[in-house]
Structure 1
C-alpha cells in the first residue's frame, strides 16, 4: 500500500488552518466585537491601589503622582510597599506623602523566608489595605488617564470580584518596540477573549483589580508561594470563574509602561513570565498549547504543501485564514489602541514562529527566585 505523503502534508496543513480558524471565530471575535455592557448602577466603591517597588525611585517619582491625582470622586488610598530597596525609594515616598495624604508608604526591611518574588510585599500591601476593592499596578506603570480608578472599579457589579485591565506599552521607534507591543497584544487578545468566553485564565499585574475578600477566601498566594512569579496570572487562574470576572477595555482605563530597549533584557523578562504557565489549569494549558502548536506548524506545512502538493490549493487555504486573521486583528487592535501594528501583522505573524522557538525552553526552566 503506497503512502501519499503530499496528500498527508496538505491534510495536516488544512487541519492546522482549521484549528486556527476555530480559535479566531470562537474566541477572538469576542474581543474584536466586544461592546461594553450598560452599567446597572453608578455606585462608586472605596478603592485601595497597591503598588510594590524594589529599587524603583525614579519610576515612583515619575508615575506615582499620576496615580495619586486620579479624578475619582469617591475615597481611594494608594499603598506603596517599598520592598528592601537600596536606592532612594524611601525618600521619594516620604516626599510624596507630604502633599498627598492618601499615600501610605510601607517599608519592608527584611526578606520573607520561603516566599519568593513579589508575593510577600504584595500580600502585605493587601493586608494593610483599608478598602475591599483592590486595584493593582506596578511602579513602572502610569495610568492612561485620570479616570483609571473610576473605570476599573466600575466593573464591580452583578457579583463581579475580578476586573481584568490592559497593560500597554508606550509606542517608541524601532522594531523591538513593535515586537514587544505585538506580543502584548496577542497575550491580551487571548486572555480577554477567553474571559469573555467564560474561561478566564490570567490577568496582568500592571492593571488588575479584585476584592480583598476573594484574596483571603482563597488563602492568598499560598498554593504557589514557592514560585517567584504568578502573583497575577496564577492567582487569577486559581480563582477566576465565568461569573466573577469582568473585562475593562476603555482606552482611558489602560496603564502604560516603558518597554525594554534591549533584546537581552526583554528576552529575560519574557522567559521569567513563561515559567509560570506550566502551573495553569489543565484545560487552559491544553487550549493555549493547541493554539501555539497549530500556529507553529502552520507555516512549515504551508511551504511543504506548496512545494509537494498543489500550490494554488495551499494558497487558497492560507488566503482564507489570512483574511479572517486580518479582519479580527484590525478590530481587536482598534479596541486596544494598537492599530499602528496592523500593517505589520503579516510579518509579525511569521515572527511568532521564531518566537515559539526562542521561548520554548522557558516552559521547562526552573524560575529564578528574584522578582526584579
Structure 2
C-alpha cells in the first residue's frame, strides 16, 4: 500500500504528462507564427492593476503585431485616466465602454463580448487586469500554439512571490487537473486569468448566450463550452507564464466562491471532481492506515511490524515529496520541500471549508440583477 497508494495523485500523473509535453514541444517546429493577437482586458476599479501590469504587455517582443482593447465600466477610481495616459504612448491601445443601462446580464461577460466584437484579429487573448507576462516572449510562445489545429490555448499562471505560499501551492495543484484535461480529449475549465480563442469560434457559439446572467466565470465558460475533441493546447513553458498580483484574503475568498458557483453550470464537472476526491481519499486513507498500524503494534510491542509500518510511512512521505517537488520545480513555484505534505493534506479541508461557506452564501449574489 505504501508503494501503490502514493502513485494515485496528480503530481505522478503530471510528471508523465510533462515528459510527453516536452517531447511534443521539442519535436514541433518552434518558429514563431505570424498570427496577430487582440488582447482583451476587462477593467472596473482596476486603476492600480492596470498601471502595474499593462506596461509589461507593451514590452512584448512580437513583430507580427498585436492590439490591446481595454473594456471599462463606470469606475470609482482613475481606471479611465490610466488607460488614456497609456494611449498617448501606445497607438495599439484601444478602449471601449460598457453602457450604464445594461441590466440582467453579467457586466464582465458583456465587457468581454464588446471587446471581442471590437477586435480586429481572429485570435483573441482574454486577460485579467491583475496579471502580466513573466517575460517579453509571452506572445511569441503563445503564437507557436495558436495554429490551424487548435481553437483554444490556455496559459499557466500563478500568484507572485509575495503571495501566501499555500495559495501558490493550491493554485498549481488545481491547475494540474485542468492542464491534464486540456491536453487530453476535452478541456474542462480554464487555468485562471488567461485564455486564447478564436473570434470566429466565439461568434459561432453566440458568446455567453447560455450564461449571461451569472456574474463571473467568463474564462471557465469559454473553455468548457468551446472545447471540442483535441482542439485545446496549453502553454506551460517559462516564457509564456503569467504572474498574478498578490490577492487580499477577501478577494481570494471571493474568487473561490465564484468558482464554486460557476462549476455547478459546467459540463463534465462530475468526472472532474471525482478525480480530485479520489486522490484525496487514497492519500488520507493511506496515512490513517499507516499511523493506525504504528500505534496498534506499538501498543502490542510488536517491534518488527511496528518497524515495517514506520518504514512504509516514511516511504509514502518520500515518494510523494520527491515526485511533487519535481513538478513544483518545473513550474518554479518556490514551495519548500517541507511544506509539500502539509499543504497536500490541507487541500481537502480547504475544499470542505469553502463548500460550507458557499452553502451559507446567498445564491442571488452570483446572478446579475
TM-score by length of 2: 0.85
> Which of residues 18, 22, 28 in structure 2 aligns to 1:39?
28
Query: Within 5 Å, which residues of 2 pair with 1:168-187?
Result: 168-172=158-162, 177-187=164-174
1:164 aligns with 2:154: yes
In structure 1, C-alpha distance between the alignment counterparts of 2:366 and 2:266, rounded to whole Å? 19
Say whether the 8 Å CA contact 2:156–2:242 is kept in structure 1.
yes
Residue 193 (structure 1) aligns with: 180
**SS state of the match for residue 218, structure 2?**
coil
Return the offset for 1:80.
Answer: 0.6
Say whether the 8 Å CA contact 1:137–1:205 is kept in structure 2.
no
Give the total of aligned pairs: 353
Q: 1:317 to 1:197 in 2, by over 3 A?
A: farther
1:86 aligns with 2:71: no
Say whether the 8 Å CA contact 2:142–2:240 is kept in structure 1.
yes
**SS state of the match for residue 239, structure 2?**
helix
Q: 1:256 to 1:26 in 2, by over 3 A?
A: closer
Query: Within 5 Å, which residues of 2 pair with 1:1-372?
Result: 18=5, 21=8, 25-26=12-13, 29-31=16-18, 34-35=21-22, 36-40=25-29, 42-172=32-162, 177-262=164-249, 264-282=250-268, 284-296=269-281, 298-299=283-284, 302-303=287-288, 306-307=291-292, 321-361=316-356, 364=359, 366=363, 368-369=365-366
Q: 1:324 to 1:299 in 2, by over 3 A?
A: same
Return the offset for 1:315.
Answer: 5.7
Cα deviation 1:95-118 (Å, max 9, x = unaligned): 111110000011224152221241
Say whether the 8 Å CA contact 1:50–1:122 is kept in structure 2.
yes
Cα deviation 1:11-51 (Å, max 9, x = unaligned): xxx69x74961655556631366302433454221110111
Deviates more, 1:318-327 or 1:146-155: 318-327
Q: Which runs of 5+ in 1 are unaligned?
A: 1-13
Return the offset for 1:203.
Answer: 1.2
In structure 1, C-alpha distance between the alignment counterparts of 2:165 and 2:213, rounded to whole Å? 34
Cα deviation 1:43-81 (Å, max 9, x = unaligned): 221110111100111221121121123111012100011
In structure 2, C-alpha distance between the alignment counterparts of 1:316 and 1:278, rounded to whole Å? 42
In structure 2, C-alpha distance between the alignment counterparts of 1:362 and 1:177, rounded to whole Å? 21
In structure 1, C-alpha distance between the alignment counterparts of 2:141 and 2:127, rounded to whole Å? 14
Cα deviation 1:108-138 (Å, max 9, x = unaligned): 2415222124111011101100000111211
Say whether the 8 Å CA contact 2:6–2:316 is kept in structure 1.
no
**SS state of the match for residue 257, structure 2?**
helix
Residue 300 (structure 2) aligns with: none
Return the offset for 1:306.
Answer: 3.5
Q: 1:111 to 1:347 in 2, by over 3 A?
A: farther
Cα deviation 1:232-253 (Å, max 9, x = unaligned): 1122011213421111112121
RMSD: 2.9
